[in-house]
């Protein structure tokens, strides 16, 4: 069997595979640092002082993977069903609200929300409407 | 064991009751255990079957009060002031009598009545045209009669704007967080306790649902010095019902059948008295 222009095709293929796979071998052995979230905003520190612990509405493990479903449920309850019951953590009451609860403690969007969202390459558009707090040094 | 039909039905009935009661009790126990730990029920919310408003035009002593009412709403709800009528966003605004009540005006009306600014807002209709056409159910009617819009779901198709006969809805042609040509932001001062909207969604008056659910009356009502009255249409003792039962009131375009829930007391002003006849 004869391949016409076999040499050129072969060189072309090698170049293509090399380019296509470049992200893999260029990044080989280099682990991208896991995002380090900061939980030490002034608000969280105050909560810790007052209640003796840093506590969210749900455990960290749940929030990591499930905060988006939880926010979705909150939205349905508040906006669609008009259920504005509050959540109590260690005697403190919180609204079911991204802007009025979550972001009041996590006032460091850059060091909190954005860190993971950028790492995961997701781009939620919560903040096109919900106003984020002024970025503070944590 | 043989069993006749009657016995079978008896046993079936009893076991159903026991079964139902059993699960109900179980759910109850589970719920209360969960709730006791982390939920504080909202006891503040004002309740109604159908919220309604009466606007007494005679009680507006100056245009200043009207402006104050409009500003109060637009300020707390982050309604942008785009500055041109084409892209304008409005939750509560004014129109002349002829535009507010088309067909009712005539050329012999008093100048005052003809040019007086009438306050308009969403009527939270009993039969809302906007709700019927919304393809995503972003616009829906709540149990308390408020016609609410879920901004998360609005796709900006503007069917609701075409359907609403009262011009109560505005489309965000511009980014409400943007700036005008001179670099002034459309939202002068953000209320950090309320969201903004984004480009490409429709918005309107919400009857201040976020305030009602915290036990407060709508912001425009609070600002109006008694010219706006808010209450439950279903409650014969409510303030709105007392006014409706004792004063002549009109609604905008009732012939269209949407059953608007904003009523107007047009207000006397002495012009009707013809001096020669006295
Ligand atoms: S006034 Fe218009 S937007 Fe408001 S409920 Fe009626 S039809 Fe819908
Ligand atoms: S613009 Fe939004 S609210 Fe209006 S009909 Fe379309 S989806 Fe529904
Ligand atoms: S009821 Fe609330 S949202 Fe509606 S016009 Fe009045 S202040 Fe604005």
Residue contact A129–B214, C-beta within 8 A:
no
**Residue A35 to chain B, least CA–CA distance (Å):** 28
- The Cα B107–Cα B119 span in angstroms is 22
DSSP, collapsed to helix, strand or coil, labels residue B93 as strand
Q: What ipTM does the predicted assembly reach?
A: 0.80
pLDDT of res. B20? 61
Phi and psi of B242, rounded to 5°?
-65, -40
Which single residue is written with the structure tokens 């009712």? B104
Residue range A76-84: mean pLDDT, rounded: 95
Q: State yes or no: pLDDT of B270 exceeds 50.
A: no
Chain A CB within 8 Å of residue B39 CB: yes
**Does any domain span residue A19?**
no
Residue contact B42–A79, C-beta within 8 A:
no
pLDDT tens digits, B76-92: 999 999 999 999 999 99
| Number of domain units in chain A | 1
In Å, how far are A72, B3, B37, B212 from B40, measured between CA atoms? Answer: 20, 52, 9, 18
**Does any domain span residue A122?**
yes
Length of chain A: 138
Which single residue is written with the structure tokens 């002495």? B270
What range defines the domain where residue A59 resides?
A: 35-128
CA torsion, ordered A117, A118, A120, A123, to nearest 10 deg: 60
**Which H/E stretch holds residue B170?**
strand B170-171
Contact B105, B114 (CB under 8 A): yes
**Which H/E stretch holds residue A94?**
strand A92-94
| B193 Cα–ligand 1 center, Å | 26
Q: State yes or no: pLDDT of B68 exceeds 50.
A: yes
pLDDT tens digits, B149-176: 999 999 999 999 999 999 999 999 999 9
**Does any domain span residue A12?**
no
Residue range A106-118: mean pLDDT, rounded: 93
**Counting ligands in written order, which one lies closest to the CA of residue B164?**
1
**Does any domain span residue A135?**
no
- The Cα A8–Cα A6 span in angstroms is 6
Nearest protein Cα to ligand 1, atom 6: B125
Q: State yes or no: pLDDT of B212 exceeds 50.
A: yes
**Does any domain span residue A17?**
no
Contact B201, B156 (CB under 8 A): yes
**Does any domain span residue A113?**
yes
């Amino acid at each position: 069997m004869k391949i016409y222009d076999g040499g050129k095709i072969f060189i072309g293929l090698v170049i293509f595979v090399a380019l296509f796979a470049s992200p893999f071998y260029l990044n080989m052995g280099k682990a991208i640092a896991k995002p380090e979230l900061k939980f030490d905003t002034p608000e969280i520190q105050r909560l810790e002082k007052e209640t003796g612990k840093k506590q969210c509405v749900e455990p960290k493990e749940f929030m990591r993977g499930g905060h988006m479903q939880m926010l979705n449920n909150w939205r349905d309850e508040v906006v669609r069903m008009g259920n504005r019951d509050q959540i109590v953590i260690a005697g403190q009451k919180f609204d079911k609200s991204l802007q009025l609860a979550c972001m009041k403690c996590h006032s460091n969007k850059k060091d909190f929300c954005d860190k993971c969202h950028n790492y995961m390459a997701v781009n939620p558009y919560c903040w096109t409407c919900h106003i984020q707090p002024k970025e503070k040094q944590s | 064991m043989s069993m006749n039909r009657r016995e079978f039905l008896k046993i079936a009935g009893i076991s159903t009751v026991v079964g139902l009661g059993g699960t109900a009790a179980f759910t109850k126990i589970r719920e209360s255990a969960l709730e006791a730990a982390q939920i504080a029920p909202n006891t503040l919310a004002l309740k109604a079957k159908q919220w309604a408003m009466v606007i007494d035009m005679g009680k507006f002593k100056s245009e200043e009060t009207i402006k104050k009412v409009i500003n109060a709403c637009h300020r707390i709800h982050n309604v942008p002031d785009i500055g041109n009528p084409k892209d304008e966003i409005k939750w509560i605004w004014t129109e002349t009598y002829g535009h507010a009540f088309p067909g009712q005006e005539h050329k012999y009306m008093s100048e005052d009545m003809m040019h007086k600014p009438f306050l308009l807002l969403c009527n939270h209709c009993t039969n809302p045209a906007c709700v019927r056409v919304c393809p995503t159910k972003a616009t829906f009617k709540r149990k308390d009669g408020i016609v609410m819009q879920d901004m998360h779901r609005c796709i900006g198709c503007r069917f609701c704007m075409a359907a609403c006969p009262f011009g109560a809805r505005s489309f965000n042609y511009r980014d409400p967080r943007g700036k005008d040509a001179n670099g002034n932001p459309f939202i002068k001062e953000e209320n950090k306790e309320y969201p903004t909207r984004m480009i490409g969604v429709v918005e309107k008056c919400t009857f201040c649902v976020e305030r009602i659910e915290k036990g407060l009356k709508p912001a425009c009502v609070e600002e109006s010095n008694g010219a706006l009255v808010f209450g439950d249409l279903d409650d014969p003792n409510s303030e709105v019902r007392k006014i409706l039962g004792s004063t002549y009131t009109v609604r905008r375009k009732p012939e269209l059948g949407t059953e608007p829930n904003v009523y107007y007391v047009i207000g006397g002003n002495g012009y009707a008295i013809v001096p020669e006849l006295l």
